[in-house]
Amino acid sequence: MRKQCLWLALAVSFTMFAAAPAPAADAYALDTAHAGVTFKISHVGISWTYGRFNELNGDFTIDTADPSKCSFTMNIKSASIDTGNQKRDEHLRSPDFFNVKQYPVITFKSTAVKPAKDGYEVTGDFTMHGVTKSITFPMTGGKTAEFPKGVQRTGFTADLVLKRADYGIDKFAGAVGDDIHISVSFEGTKK
């Protein structure tokens, strides 16, 4: 009788443990006050022009137990481009470059996430100027902090290079470089 009780207790304990739900992924909203997308591009091969986008939003999900369930999305308002020169920015918004009236948003949506050194390897669909291409890049970070009190947050950074001609932005080749060096840094607050 004692053996049966022991086996029954073990079976009940195992069943309770096995039926316990897996920890859910954590959802975050992009904290736009602590997020940025900056870039640099060569000008006539002798210097760099630097810029940023001032308006963006997005969200992401982190599942530390199963990184394949992580996801990242970001939307950037293309008209928010800012290189510190109003005349140049107006030209960049024109059909010669971003054509912001026809293509108002630059988007990224992850399709696969794998663990990597100091973060993740992220693959996803990047859409700019009406062209969507799959890109893969390393994203570092993932440390967490509570700031202000009661607000859980985490953050990541990524550096990548895209070719503007791949997205149909190919005017003024030679004067303006093809490689766009992009840096993304962002924090999210837990929903």
Instruction: Report the pLDDT averaged over residues 135-162.
Output: 97
CA distances from 141 to 118, 159, 186 (A): 6, 12, 10
> What confidence score (pLDDT) does residue 37 get?
98
Give the largest Cα separation in the chain, rounded.
Answer: 88
How many CB atoms within 10 Å of residue 47? 9
Q: pTM, whole model, 2 decimals?
A: 0.86
Q: Which CATH architecture has domain 25-190?
A: Beta Barrel (2.40)
pLDDT tens column, 46-89: 999 999 999 999 999 999 999 999 999 999 999 999 999 999 99
| Whether residue 7 has pLDDT greater than 90 | no
Q: Domain ranges in the chain?
A: 25-190
pLDDT tens column, 79-109: 999 999 999 999 999 999 999 999 999 999 9
| Whether residue 12 has pLDDT greater than 50 | no
Containing 72, the helix (H) or strand (E) segment is strand 71-77
Angle (CA) 166 96 123, round 5°? 25
pLDDT mean across residues, the chain: 91
